[in-house]
Amino acid sequence: ALDDNCAHLTFDTPQRAITPGQAAVFYDGDRVLAGAWIR
């Protein structure tokens, strides 16, 4: 969901070590679809 230029994500499985300042990058195979900085 997008809200105030921010994306809010929900994962199907638990994720660990998600840290502010890291990049979040979304791929389809080896094609980059989107990316952003984690806040």
Cα–Cα distance, 32 to 23 (Å, whole number): 13
| pLDDT of amino acid 1 | 66
| pLDDT of amino acid 11 | 92
The contacts of residue 36 (CB under 8 Å, 6+ apart) are 7, 23, 24
Domain that holds residue 19: 2-37
| pLDDT of amino acid 32 | 97
Q: Supply the pTM of this predicted model.
A: 0.64
Q: Which residue, among 19, 21, 1, has the nearest Cα to 9 in the 3D structure?
A: 1
Cα–Cα distance, 29 to 26 (Å, whole number): 9
| pLDDT of amino acid 35 | 92
Task: Give the pLDDT confidence of 1-39 residue by residue, as tens digits.
Answer: 677 788 888 999 999 999 999 999 999 999 999 999 998
DSSP 22: S
